Structure formats: C-alpha cells, structure tokens
Amino acid sequence: MPILVRDYTWQQTEREVYVSLPLKGAKALGSDVLCTEEYLKVNFPPFLFEAVLFAPIDDSKSSAKIGNGIIVFTLHKKEPSMWDTLAMSNVQKETMQRIRENAVTRTQEKAKEDADAKAVKKRENEKYSLEVMMKIDEAERKRIEDVKEEERKKATEELEKWKEQQRKEEEQKRTRREEKKKQERNKLCANTSNPCPRAERSSNVIFKLNEKVLPSTRATGCIKIQFTPRVFPTALRESRMAEEDQWLHQQAEARRAINVDDLELQDLKEEEKNPEWLKDKGNQLFAAGDYLAAINAFNLALRLNNKIPALYLNRSACHLKLRNLHKTIEDSSKALELLTPPVPANASGRVKAHVRRGAAFCELELYVEGLQDYEAALKIDSTNQNVNCDAEKIRQIIQSSSADPE
C-alpha cells in the first residue's frame, strides 16, 4: 500500500508555480516523475504523490530537480493567472482514472515523437556526412584527372619537340649526304679521261667505271668492357645478395615447372602451353574489360604452372573488378606467399597484393583488417600518395564508427 504524500509546499507567480515535495531518500534514478498539462505524479516507493492541477501548464517548459531527499518542480502556466489551490479536490475516481490514462498515453506519444525526431536527425546527419565524403572524393578525382591531363599535355609537347629535333637532324644528314655525293661526282669527273666541266650539272652524264670505289678502311681499336656479376644494382653496404639469389632461383624454377601431364592440357596449341603467353593474353583481356575471359586465361596458366606469383596477383585484380571479394583475398594471400623472400625486385608486387586484399576487406566492411594491409603496403613504399590517402580515409571511417553511440 503506497504512502500518499500530502505535506508539500507551493508558491506561485502569475506565470510560474514552484512546488517543493519532501521524499525521504529520493534519488533521480529511482524516482518516476510524470508531468502533463493537467496532471502531476511522483512515484518513489513506498511514497506516492499525484495531483490534478488547478489550471493547464506548459509541460515542455516545466522541469523537476531531485536531490537531498526533496523534489522541486518549476511549472510554467499556459495563461498568466493566480491559482486558488495547487490541485483540484473532490475528483471522482472515474475522472482520476481517465486523467491517469491520458497522461500515460501523452507521455508515450511524446517519447515516440522524440525518438522519431532523433532518428530523423541522425539520418540527416548521415546523409550530410555521405554528401561531404562524395564531394571530397569528387574533388580528389578531379584533381587527379587534372594532374593526368597536365602530364599528358607535357608529354605531348615533349614528343613534338623530339619529333621536330629528329626532323631537323634528318634534314641535316640528308643535306650532308647530298653534299658528299656532289663532291664525289665532281672528283670522279675530274679523274676520268674525258673530264666533265665543273659548271656542267646535267643529269645525262653517265660515268662508266671499271673499278668500284670503296671507302677507306677504318682504324682498328680496342674497347675495354667490364661486367659486374651482380644482378641487382644495390649498394654493397645495403646488399641482400642471399635473398636476391634465392628469389632469382625460385623464379627460374617456377618458369621450368610446367605441368602438361593433364590430358586436357596436351590438346592445347603450342603457344597455349606457355604460361607467360597466357599471362600476357589475360592482361590484354583485362585491359579490354573482359574480366571473365581474363580469369579463364589465368586459370589455364595456373594449371600449367602454379608457382608464378604474377598469375595469382593478376587474377586477384579481375576478381576485385567482379566483386568476388573472398576470391580476391585468397589470390592476394597466395601471391604474398610466393613473393618471398622480400627483395626490391618483388616490392611492387607485394604492394599491389596488400592493396588489393585491403580493398576487398574494406568492401566487406572489415576496415581494421583492410587498414593493416594498407599500412603494410606503406611500409614497403612510403612514397605512394594514393595508398596513403586511402589509408587515411579508412582511419576516419574506423574513428567515426567507434564514435557513434550504440
């Protein structure tokens, strides 16, 4: 049986009402406060206080403070006036029950409206964030396109200058050849028994020579050439000769490991039995946008030789274009297994494998795993600006997702 609280005090002005309600041990977490336009209720077991207010109030502006065993209400009146009493007396049970139900219904509706408004605001914020990211990406793409266009114009200008220089050099060579021929003709005319006049340059003059004039013999000489036995031009203090030799040995063995024992493979044409030819064919199909045909070419090459890392690496690019994300991860991982030991010769391949596997992880919303692959690529090539920008975007996505409330 609840204990009804009646020893409250209240004060008022024309616009506000102040109610002080003593509740022994009252706390904010354990108190159930309900306030509507015409009804006020506080439930702090075993204490209960409820009142049908003398006049309507603005519940959106009203407030309650709980602490030190007391609850203080600040109620804003809808219309300025002076009340005779705080609560109406002699309210029938049916009326009180109806007022309670209306108050609960109004509170539930208000809570639902607040939740809907919060959800709408959250969606608007997400939409705004997406639009901002799209604008940033568009600006970045435009910047890259502008840089490419500028580089293309620069390359075109350099090519035109080179062609002009070549044309001038060819013209100079042709002029020298004509002058040399002219001198030889004059010399031959002077040496024959019937010499030609110097001023005569007729095309009807025919020289009949019994001997063929040969150029003079070139002087002999000796050119000393020194060869270095090393394959990679790495400084000796930074040399990783053992790893480099191991990498070259693995590549040589991989090229020799061709499997044609399969009956289906024996019926192939001679060039189709060459994994390198199939790799080039797959690259051409990839450039033409025929990703499925490119995958078929790489599959056949891998059946012939599954030790070449470039085949797995190129096939992972095709799977990424077709959004076969799990297959992209598998091929990139297999390529990284074969790209060992890590040497400068395979650094580019390792960067591509990490980036493609990281992109597939991000498409699967596994941003932490994707960021690890991008950071591994940056450890190999820290100057790659595209990889650095993508890694920074992934970090921002991870931070924003961790900052969102549950």
Domain boundary among 177, 192, 207: 192
Class of residue 51 by CB neighbours under 10 A (exposed 0-12, middle 13-18, buried 19+): buried
Q: Give the per-residue pLDDT at 209.
A: 44
Residues 51 and 139 in one domain: no
Residues 77 and 182 in one domain: no
Q: Give the per-residue pLDDT at 387.
A: 92
Q: What is the DSSP letter of 201?
A: -
Domain assignment of residue 175, given as a range:
120-192
Domain boundary among 171, 192, 213: 192
Find the CATH number of the domain harbouring 330. Answer: 1.25.40.10
135 in a domain, yes or no?
Answer: yes
Domain boundary among 192, 211, 236: 192
Q: Give the per-residue pLDDT at 95.
A: 76
Q: Give the per-residue pLDDT at 55.
A: 84
pTM for the whole thing? 0.41
105 in a domain, yes or no?
Answer: no
Find the CATH number of the domain harbouring 15. Answer: 2.60.40.790
Q: Give the per-residue pLDDT at 30.
A: 63
pLDDT in tens, the chain (406 residues): 677 777 788 888 888 888 887 877 666 566 778 888 787 888 777 777 777 888 888 878 888 888 777 888 888 888 888 888 877 777 777 777 777 788 788 888 888 888 888 889 988 888 888 889 889 988 999 999 999 999 989 998 988 999 999 999 999 998 988 888 888 888 776 765 454 444 444 444 444 444 556 777 777 778 877 766 555 555 555 566 677 777 777 777 776 666 555 545 555 677 777 888 889 999 999 999 999 999 999 998 888 888 899 999 999 999 999 999 999 999 999 999 998 888 888 899 999 999 999 999 999 999 999 999 999 999 999 899 999 999 999 999 988 887 655 4
Work out how many domains the chain is built from and give that number.
3
347 in a domain, yes or no?
Answer: yes
226 in a domain, yes or no?
Answer: no
Q: Give the per-residue pLDDT at 98.
A: 79
390 in a domain, yes or no?
Answer: yes
Q: Give the per-residue pLDDT at 233.
A: 56
114 in a domain, yes or no?
Answer: no
Residues 131 and 84 in one domain: no
267 in a domain, yes or no?
Answer: yes
307 in a domain, yes or no?
Answer: yes
Residues 124 and 67 in one domain: no
Residues 75 and 142 in one domain: no
- How many other CB atoms sit within 10 Å of the CB of residue 57? 23
Q: Are 20 and 29 in contact (CB under 8 A)?
A: no
Helices 325-338/309-321 angle, 10° precision: 160
